[in-house]
């Protein structure tokens, strides 16, 4: 069933991919090859401004509409065996909500603010380890257990423009909540071109995906569980010189089943559109074998507001 749905999405979005490839054609390299790679130094600090639009419907009730603004910080704490150990923290949250006659409700608090998590990835996004600074209190990020994440496996480095590749993965979304949300997904990627965006030369790829997710919280008195079926689309831009994500757009459609205790499961839908934009990048420490040592914490990229 999953593969059939993926084929339908491929047919539906194939035109979008062709158009995207044509729009990048004026900037592609002569050999028609684009390479994708993540790279960090110990101490690298990246702060992203994240804007999301949510539409949530639970048990056929009035839709809840959200406009979320967040600032998320990623720090490369260490590097071991060519794996980057990154920590992630939600620094700031502002949300405007409306549902039915209730309009323009402003929220600035979230139990996820300040909760530090960490995970280890390689240069193509594969994950190897993860953890929480606080694993005693259950909490979710403002976008829920299955909102799009900035770092995910794409597993390929160099591809010809418009070439596709297929990735299957079990993603542990430590950035989204505790206990750990899980998504088993299949993604079809397509190599885009080279472009200039946010004053940075970037290599772009696109993807479409389908998947199934699960999130479960067990307490002394009750059990809460959410399962879903996910379809999504994304556009990802990696700096060709710094090898860090500069911009990421993703859409997700979730068909939810929500269970609480012995109650009858409730259906739901959650649509998310998310934009990650690099706000600032501070370079970490480099210790060369010869010559003077580079200073720590030099800010080398900052988005002009």
pLDDT (0 to 100) of residue 218: 86
Are the CB atoms for 73 and 89 separated by under 8 Å? yes
pLDDT (0 to 100) of residue 190: 97
Q: Looking at the chain, how many residues does it have?
A: 305
| CB-side neighbour CA atoms (13 Å) of 65 | 7
Are the CB atoms for 120 and 83 separated by under 8 Å? yes
Cα separation, 305 vs 287, whole angstroms? 33
Residues 6+ apart with CB under 8 A from 19: none
Q: What are the per-10-residue average pLDDT scores of the chain (305 residues)?
A: 45 44 42 91 97 96 96 97 96 95 91 96 95 92 95 92 95 95 96 87 96 90 90 96 96 95 91 97 71 46 49
Q: What is the DSSP letter of 175?
A: G
Domain boundaries, the chain: 2-277
- CATH (one of 3.40.50, 2.30.230, 2.40.50, 1.10.4160) for 2-277: 2.30.230
pTM exceeding 0.75 = yes
> In this predicted model, what pLDDT tens digit does every residue of 74-95 receive, in sequence order?
999 999 999 999 999 999 999 9
Q: Provide the pairing of β-strand 158-160 with 102-107.
A: unpaired
Cα separation, 144 vs 107, whole angstroms? 15
Tell me the backbone φ, ψ of residue 276, rounded to 5 degrees. -100, 125
Q: What is the DSSP letter of 238?
A: E
């Amino acid at each position: 069933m999953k593969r059939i749905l993926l084929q339908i999405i491929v047919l539906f979005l194939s035109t979008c991919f062709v158009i995207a490839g044509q729009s990048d054609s004026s900037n592609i390299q002569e050999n028609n090859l684009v390479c994708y790679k993540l790279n960090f130094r110990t101490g690298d600090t990246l702060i992203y401004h994240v804007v999301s639009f949510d539409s949530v419907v639970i048990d056929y009730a009035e839709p809840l509409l959200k406009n979320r603004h967040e600032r998320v910080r990623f720090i490369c704490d260490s590097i071991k065996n060519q794996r980057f150990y990154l920590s992630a923290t939600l620094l700031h949250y502002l949300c405007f909500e409306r549902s039915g006659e209730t309009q323009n409700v402003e929220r600035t608090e979230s139990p996820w603010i300040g909760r530090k998590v960490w995970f280890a990835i390689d240069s193509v996004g594969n994950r190897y380890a993860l953890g929480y600074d606080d694993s005693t209190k259950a909490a979710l990020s403002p976008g829920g257990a299955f909102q799009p994440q900035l770092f995910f496996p794409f597993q390929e480095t160099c591809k010809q423009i418009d070439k596709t590749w297929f990735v299957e993965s079990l993603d542990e979304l430590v950035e989204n909540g505790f206990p750990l949300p899980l998504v088993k997904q299949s993604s079809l990627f397509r190599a885009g071109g080279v472009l200039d965006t946010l004053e940075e030369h970037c290599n772009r790829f696109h993807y479409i995906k389908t998947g199934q997710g699960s999130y479960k919280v067990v307490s002394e008195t009750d059990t809460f569980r959410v399962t879903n079926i996910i379809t999504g689309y994304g556009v990802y831009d990696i700096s060709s010189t710094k090898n860090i994500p500069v911009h990421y757009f993703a859409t997700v459609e979730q068909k939810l089943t929500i269970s609480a205790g012995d109650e009858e499961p409730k259906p739901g839908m959650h649509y998310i559109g998310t934009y990650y934009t690099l706000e600032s990048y501070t370079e970490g420490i480099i210790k060369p074998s010869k010559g003077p040592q580079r200073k720590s914490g030099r800010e080398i990229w900052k988005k002009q507001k």
